[in-house]
Structure 1
């Protein structure tokens, strides 16, 4: 059933369910009031206002024009590109520029955002661990910390540092301005003059965009901690845009979360914490810098574990029983705004035995073996013979052109365009008296689709 909204056909029933009326023996629609609509419509991130939700008309426009096509690889699961598309649609108009869109649709940025999501997956687990331990060692029933507890904390801190190291590697590729990042470098060649104003605006927009990507990937939870850590990683403590009063770690807790390489000095000589990680890389962590580039050959189990997490595609993370936020989850249990639909989850009959996406078990830190980091120093290393080539499906020129004209497309469908809903498609098919595509066109389309999915 449709209704007309400014010349646009949109479904009549927004949000609700169909129930049987026992008195009249008819099926009636019961609308459900969305609590999100009563809250603030925008979330401020690095000075930019990103919309929180989609209304019904915007959802139809996004699904028809901007959502990842069903013909792309792994279209039935959530990947980084799906989150990028949603954030771009919710982003304010002043950051939607041609350079920024081209920049976001590069392989380097895609790897950076994936490393950022993986890092915050472990960082939020560490923050939760710190807060729980803070409650356990304080109060009337305080527990005494043993040396084993401190050793486990040191191991957790070292493992978080390793993920931060890989994130720093991806970030350094961007700021060096080489290869596909060269058109976005802030220093003009030959004359060596920096375009500081443009670069500052570009950098702020990218940090705001990255924060939104991580927040959505983490099920839209702990925004304060994500925003605070993003500011610390890329700005340092001196230039934080916003400080949260409830986020106040002790010296011991901060040392555990930030690692032993973090140094806070005078703001004139302060480097970002990511660059500090690259300045002091432990010898046993050096092979990690080649993860995703070369196949590791050695006896270090920790490097093998991290390599598996980083090189396995998002759509196959369930095969190695690893969870990175919503990456790799099936789209059928999420709505268009990538909010989880618990009614759809219940229909999948997940349990503690069958829980491939860790929705029932809830991801948690695994208790490490003692002396795990010490044994890594004695691991053997062998020469590398194999290079890893990661597959990346680049956006077509037609898709990029749509993002250039995002605001005009939304305005067109809001004022005069007709959304291709199911009813409209059926009406057009009934009116159409042609025989459809030829056999050759159907065969070519099938072979092209098979080649894409099977990766021949």
Structure 2
């Protein structure tokens, strides 16, 4: 997997083969590397036919790296610590995911998409949702056990209704950014499947490759951000959210039947009331159903992270901070988003928590292999977050208050300052992806000549 790192002669320096330009959004010079990319007008749909089977095959990230591989990562790809009180950034988690990813899905297009402000908000919204989802799943599993000796009251229904509303609002945050991505909005216009001008025929196979690769990266990043816990539970839910339960490939392979095993109250809370059962041709993903669902919504949620609002209640302010606040301010503001914002000194190179006197951590690949066996798939109701001491605190979302009296005189037009991805790290991964893509093209041409 890391055979290309041994070739020091082919290693490209950080500021080679490119030019500097002024970026008005951040008011500073940035280095833009010249990357050979095909134009959307010249790309043929048949160019991606041979890769379709590869991308839909199981994609395994190599997470049990030896000391030599970790040393290469620290030397060439890890972000340099800025100060003694350095914290974990989202970029640090992306770096680990990109380094451990198989070469088949590491392309310049995927690297570019992962290093955009819209994608950053999308990933943060996913981390926030799954942290609260696992927390709620644990609580509901405990409540279902307590029903054997306790009686339900009106207060029980009120608490479950509040948790359901919280999950639906967090899914709405994910859907907001997801719609921007699939519609080619903001800086993602050039990656739209119809091209930047949306006038040519659809490159559906290319779009499927990019979608599956980005989704798999997001799954890995969320799993790493949540302390490498509950991989199967996150994988099943993320495929249900984006593809619906009917097209949930992971569920079809694992055959857990976890939704049928849920108690009615668990389905009421964890799935919400916006799930629509339709025929295959008219099926929408649960994320789009959240946007089209008829329920009381605060329209200001669709502006979080992109538009400056003159007034935000505590609930919206909490969500906006989770989406766009700098990780250095998390602990001061009381924001909990997985391991983001936690001291970097608490974790090793691969972002595993350092525990004094503990044995060496087991590889995640073996953990996933064991957890996907038939014996460990019997119960999906309990999250592994409940085992031992938690790495991070639970999320406490402020209560929802419908401020019907707040009606702005005009719609806010001042845009919020977008978060800027680390340009140095982006150029490093673009260089590696371009080098790997070039090698694959050379090997393909050699095979054709032979």
Q: Give me the TM-score of the superposition, normalised by structure 2.
A: 0.70
Match of 1:122 among 108, 132, 136: 132
Q: 1:402 matched to which residue of 2?
A: 431
What is the Cα deviation at residue 164 of structure 1? 1.0
Counterpart of 1:88 in 2: which secondary structure?
helix
Task: Specify whether residues 104 and 148 from structure 1 end up closer, same or farther in structure 2 by C-alpha distance, changes over 3 A only.
Answer: same
Structure 2 contact 298–402 (Cα < 8 Å) conserved: no
Match of 1:241 among 249, 256, 261: 249
Q: Distance in 2 between matches of 1:46 and 1:320?
A: 42
Counterpart of 1:342 in 2: which secondary structure?
coil
Q: Distance in 2 between matches of 1:190 and 1:246?
A: 40
Q: 2:39 matched to which residue of 1?
A: none
Structure 1 contact 168–278 (Cα < 8 Å) conserved: yes
Q: 2:355 matched to which residue of 1?
A: 342
Q: 2:444 matched to which residue of 1?
A: none
Q: Distance in 2 between matches of 1:74 and 1:293?
A: 32
Structure 1 contact 317–323 (Cα < 8 Å) conserved: yes
Q: Distance in 1 between matches of 2:98 and 2:126?
A: 17
Structure 1 contact 333–341 (Cα < 8 Å) conserved: yes
Structure 1 contact 295–386 (Cα < 8 Å) conserved: yes
Counterpart of 1:289 in 2: which secondary structure?
helix
Q: 2:178 matched to which residue of 1?
A: 171
Counterpart of 1:242 in 2: which secondary structure?
helix
Match of 1:87 among 97, 104, 110: 97
Q: Distance in 2 between matches of 1:134 and 1:91?
A: 38
Q: 2:419 matched to which residue of 1?
A: 391
Structure 1 contact 117–324 (Cα < 8 Å) conserved: yes
Equivalent residues in 2 for 1:15-414, closer than 5 Å: 47-70=58-81, 76-138=86-148, 142-188=149-195, 189=197, 191-243=199-251, 244=254, 245=256, 247=258, 248-280=261-293, 282-298=295-311, 300-343=313-356, 363-364=393-394, 366=396, 373=400, 375-376=401-402, 378=404, 380-383=406-409, 384=412, 387-396=415-424, 398-404=427-433
Segment of structure 1 superposing worse, 242-251 or 93-102: 242-251
What is the Cα deviation at residue 382 of structure 1? 3.7
Q: Distance in 2 between matches of 1:299 and 1:331?
A: 32
Higher RCO, Cα 8 Å, sep 6+ = 2
In the alignment, structure 1 segments of 5+ residues that lack a partner are 1-5, 9-43, 346-358, 409-456
Q: Distance in 2 between matches of 1:215 and 1:406?
A: 28
Q: Distance in 2 between matches of 1:337 and 1:280?
A: 40
Task: Specify whether residues 362 and 145 from structure 1 end up closer, same or farther in structure 2 by C-alpha distance, changes over 3 A only.
Answer: farther
Q: Give me the TM-score of the superposition, normalised by structure 1.
A: 0.69
In the alignment of these two chains, the number of paired residues is 349
What is the Cα deviation at residue 118 of structure 1? 1.1
Task: Specify whether residues 236 and 313 from structure 1 end up closer, same or farther in structure 2 by C-alpha distance, changes over 3 A only.
Answer: same
Q: Distance in 1 between matches of 2:115 and 2:434?
A: 16
